[in-house]
Amino acid sequence: MSRINIFLLSGLVLASCSSNKQPKEVEINDSTTPLHLLQPDYTTPYKVLSVDSVKADIDRVFSYIDSVTPARVVNEEGEVIDDLTNLPDDAKLNQGTYRLTSYEWGVMYMALLDAYNTLGDAKYKDYVSDRIGFLAKAAPAFAELASRTGRHDGQMRQVIAPATLDDAGAMSAAFMRAAMADSTLKIGDIIERYYDIVENHTYRLADGTIARNRPHHNSVWLDDMFMALPSMAARSAYTNDPKQLDEAARIAGLFIDRMWIPEKGIFRHGYVEGLEHEPSMAWGRANGWAILTMCQLLDAMPENHPQRAKILSTIKEHIKGLSQLQGRDGFWHQLLDRNDSYEETSATAIFAYCIAHAVNQGWVEAVTYGPVAQLAWEAVASKINDKGEVEGVCVGTGMGFDPAYYYYRPVSVKAAHGYGPVIWAGSEIIKMLNSSYPRLNDSAIHYYNVDPEATVPIFSLDENGKATEVLH
């Protein structure tokens, strides 16, 4: 009993006593107390979620990232430069905790735009317009400065002279989505520079699969599904031309063919063309980028798209596989199929978003997967500290062929990879809460398609989906 709190004592029977005697305490046992309604001492909260609590968690993270990502130009002494028409030689972006031009912040911009669309809170969209608008305003001045001095500011180089898919992929998608959401942003030239890298200067295998030449020649990283394909889907919407979406869907099919582990229902992280046996390290966050990519592609596809069935089937199987690997406290592990690897927050946040999104889109059933998504969110929320920092996030990770590489990757609250996924997850969880009816029934979280209108802790359902009391 030392780890169990009793929350329901209605079944406790007290011995009869006269008015001048103290009640006699009766032993709590199976005859006197409904023991099945005792509340376990959960590590992660296990309750019906409230929209207000989730929104508060999102806003704590948002307030933090807003405060540590200034949009200013300064000189070496840290003095703010307001006039961007004639920058001094020592001008640079004011360094915040996180870079405004990194692929991780491309994720952030997209997550905030979706959060705005879901929740209607203008501050999320304003943040995107403010930071992207600032980068667009500063870009010509920094391009002139680089031409004059031969020196690039580290962050602005990614905007005015992107060179890699890491520079351009997520930012390209974010900028195009921002431009479609806010017509006042004048960012067309930056979008074209970014997308030129995605379309024309990204290494590919002979069949078009996105690839790299590290750590080995013709290496395929599962992460690169997200680096390239959402940008291609956004391009189709931005230009009103379906060809890039079609190509993105085709390449997604190639990634699935190479990287999917059907017996486990998850993806391997790496593939090297020509190997007899492929490494099968099922890194959590890479699996997150893969299912997030598939969600974005499926959102963009018409119902009759020839690749839709394959991608939808893979999403369903992936969610099924992931649900079997979720840990007791709601997290997924750094290596998904090795539960002695550490619990990792960014992958858990991405899975919370994608599973909730699949529920909200009707791709999977809320009854089955609503509790999985909710438990994942509760896990993520437990890692948001009082400052709004996200704990337990794995730092940037390359491709490894042995478990030790993944087991011992550091975690840091300064790893930017966790922040956009947390915003994404929270907003989608709210959407799921608003469209479903989570209730405790016999102490377990269940999701219902109609409000059961339950007033008792254990209930059955009638033919209309309404609660009827179960007697014990």
Question: Omega before 452 cis (within 30°)?
Answer: no
Query: Which pair of tokens denotes residue 235?
Result: 């391009």
Contact 222, 268 (CB under 8 A): yes
Calculate the CA 187 to chain-centre distance.
26
Per-residue pLDDT of 340-365, as tens digits, reads: 999 999 999 999 999 999 999 999 99
CA dist 8 and 121 (Å) reads 39
Residue that has been written with the tokens 């990283």 in this structure: 221
pLDDT of 9 reads: 40
Half-sphere exposure of 346 (CA within 13 A, CB side): 29
CATH number of 50-435: 1.50.10.10
CA dist 228 and 194 (Å) reads 11
CA dist 22 and 164 (Å) reads 78
How much is the CA Rg of the chain, to the nearest whole Å? 25
Q: Cα-flanking dihedrals φ and ψ of residue 29, to 5°?
A: -150, -175
pLDDT of 39 reads: 79
Q: With the C-alpha atoms ordered 422, 423, 426, 429, is the resulting torsion angle positive or negative? A: negative
Domain ranges of the chain: 1-41, 50-435, 436-472
CA dist 44 and 329 (Å) reads 5
**3-class DSSP assignment, residue 467:** strand
pLDDT of 67 reads: 98
CA dist 307 and 92 (Å) reads 45
Q: With the C-alpha atoms ordered 271, 272, 275, 281, is the resulting torsion angle positive or negative? A: negative
Distance (Å) of CA 434 to CA 148, 382, 438 = 55, 22, 10
Which residues are bridge partners to 80 per DSSP?
A: 74
Convert 79-126 into a string of H (helix), E (strand) and C (coil): CECCCCCCCCCCCEECCCCCCCCCHHHHHHHHHHHHHHHHHCCHHHHH
Calculate the CA 29 to chain-centre distance.
45
The CA angle 226-232-237, to the nearest 5 degrees, is 125
- Is the entire prediction scored with pTM above 0.85? yes
pLDDT of 182 reads: 97
pLDDT of 35 reads: 78
Query: Which pair of tokens denotes residue 367?
Result: 């009854």
Distance (Å) of CA 362 to CA 147, 350, 367, 369 = 52, 18, 11, 11
Residue that has been written with the tokens 């993270």 in this structure: 61
Name the region of 208 (left: φ>0; alpha: ψ -120 to 50; beta: rest).
left
Q: Which residues of the chain have pLDDT under 70?
A: 1-23, 471-472
Half-sphere exposure of 10 (CA within 13 A, CB side): 6
Half-sphere exposure of 172 (CA within 13 A, CB side): 29
